[in-house]
A and B are shown apart, each in its own frame.
Chain A
Amino acid sequence: MFGVMRLVLVLLVLQTIAYVALSLYSRAVRRSKLRARWREKGRTGDEEAFVVRGLKAYDSSFRRKLILGVFIVPWVAIAALIYVVNFM
């Protein structure tokens, strides 16, 4: 049983690192895209306010929740692999 615990622990640590890194990266990309769009649209209003509003919309979007797949996909893959290797 020690082997399972080690796998779960190591994978959880890796997944958390990947999740945090991906979230930060994705938010930064969204921020720079919002800046670019504000400049394209003719610089109306306050840039910071525009970016903050866009990021708030991003925080509750489905795209952001897709990053949670980092926690789900590997376990599904492992379950599929166990089935294919041992029971097929």
Chain B
Amino acid sequence: MGYVKWAFILIFWITLGAFLQYTLPQHDVVRIVNTYEERQELNDWTRIFWAVPDDQSANLINRDVQFIQAVRANGRPIVYRNEDTGWSWPPYFKFDTANLYTEANDAISTKDAPEWVSVTHYGWRNEFLSIFPNAVSIKPVEGPDARIIPWFNIIFLIIFFAILWAIWVRWRRFRVARIDPMIENVEDGFYAAGEAIDERRGRFRRWLDSWKSK
């Protein structure tokens, strides 16, 4: 029983962690090398990893998506998609896809004369599912080892877990004060009823016994 309980707790926290990791913004220091646009088939379950733009029909099964190709400071490649999130989830309210595409094209640099930028993005890159993180903003930085402190994530996570903890503490207190005594009360009631029945039965049996010849 204990294992089942811990498995549920573990699954809950892993799911929450993955969800936050996917949704919260992250910063990469990269050098942008190219941009391209490609038609994407969006007709299977990986549709959830693509945006739902406001100005596009929801029943379209394929459409053009903009991509930004970049190289990280350690030389490994990373490809971002560039899509409006619009008014839907995740709540980035990104409407400036075309502007960002322009900025990305403006920031293209060569290996010989690198121009480093910090790309803010959310989402995951997965080669097997062909999914890409969505770039949200591009800012120039001094060099490949520029350090970016994720202030938004720090503040957001502190407030988020403070609220979770506050609700949890109050729920515990409520359970101890109200629900546990009620359950005990019901259990006591059951025991009392059981004893009363036993007593009744005892009396009835005694009465029956009284008719027997000794």
Q: Chain A interface (Cβ within 8 Å of chain B)?
A: 1-4, 6-7, 25, 78, 81-82, 85-87
Contacts and interface: CB of A to CB of B under 8 A. Distances in A.
Interface residues of B, number: 14
Nearest to A29: B170
Contacts of B86: 3
A85 B92 contact: yes
Interface of B: 54, 86-88, 91-96, 99, 136-137, 170
A85 B87 contact: no
Given A2-B54, A25-B170, A85-B93, 6 more contacts: A4-B87, A81-B93, A82-B93, A85-B136, A85-B137, A86-B93
A81 B122 CA distance: 15
Contacts of B92: 81, 85
A87 to B, nearest CB: 8
A1 B87 CA distance: 9
A58 B186 CA distance: 37
B96 A3 contact: no
20 contacts: A1-B54, A3-B54, A3-B88, A4-B87, A6-B88, A7-B87, A7-B88, A25-B170, A78-B91, A78-B93, A81-B91, A81-B92, A82-B93, A85-B92, A85-B93, A85-B94, A85-B96, A85-B136, A86-B96, A87-B96
B33 to A, nearest CB: 24
Contacts of B96: 85-87
A87 B99 CA distance: 10
Contacts of B137: 85
A25 B192 CA distance: 35
A25 B171 CA distance: 12
A3 B91 contact: no
Contacts of A7: 87-88
Contacts of A2: 54
Nearest to B25: A85
Contacts of A6: 87-88
B27 to A, nearest CB: 14
> Which 8 pairs of residues, A with B, have the shortest CB-CB distance?
A3-B87, A86-B96, A3-B54, A82-B93, A7-B87, A4-B87, A3-B86, A81-B93
